[in-house]
Amino acid sequence: MKKLSVIMLITMSVLIIWNSRSFAIETSPHISDREIVERLARLEEGQNTLRAEIRANADAIGNLREDMNKQFDRIDKQFDRLVHIMLGIFGAFATLCGGTIWFALWDRRTMIRPFEDKVKKIEDDIAANRNKLHTLIEAFRTLSKTDEKVAAILKKFNLL
């Protein structure tokens, strides 16, 4: 049984290999040298037209690239112009803010100076009249010992 299956396997393998070899070979039609030369000439002509088209496409791509570079240059100039405008606006805004702060400080100083002068004058007047005021209060205190109305008024203002 084993021998039979080995023999069948070998036989089938030989048949498959034999048949596949016979199908692998194709007979080609006979082409003359003249036909080969004509086909080569047509191929060369086709290659020449393809080369011309490729050159034309390369030139068109080059032109497009130049146009794109010009467009990028225009866009760069426009961005530069916008940046300069923004810097100008920022500078003007900073100047306005600084000017406003400076004006506010200057205005406060000029407004406070007259009040400082008045306060200084009042302090000087109070310092000059301090002794007179203390003497007057002492006089009223001595008067309050004899007069009840004066004593009531001094107590009302916490001077007694």
Please tell me the pTM assigned to this model.
Answer: 0.42
35 band by pLDDT with thresholds 50, 70 and 90? confident
C-alpha distances (whole Å) from 117 to each of 65, 69, 106, 107, 112 are: 77, 71, 17, 16, 9
- How many other CB atoms are there within 10 angstroms of residue 148's CB atom? 9
pLDDT at 25 over 70: no
Phi, psi (deg, nearest 5) at residue 159: -105, -10
- Render pLDDT for 111-157 as a digit per residue (tens, 0 to 9): 888 888 898 998 888 888 888 888 888 888 888 888 888 888 888 88
pLDDT at 26 over 80: no
| HEC-encoded secondary structure of the chain | CHHHHHHHHHHHHHHHHHHHHHHHCCCCCCCCHHHHHHHHHHHHHHHHHHHHHHHHHHHHHHHHHHHHHHHHHHHHHHHHHHHHHHHHHHHHHHHHHHHHHHHHHHHHHHHHHHHHHHHHHHHHHHHHHHHHHHHHHHHHHHHHCCCHHHHHHHHHCCCC
Cα(36)–Cα(32) distance, rounded to whole angstroms?
Answer: 6
Q: List the structure tokens of 116.
A: 């400082």
Q: Return the top range by mean pLDDT from 23-32, 62-71, 120-129.
A: 62-71
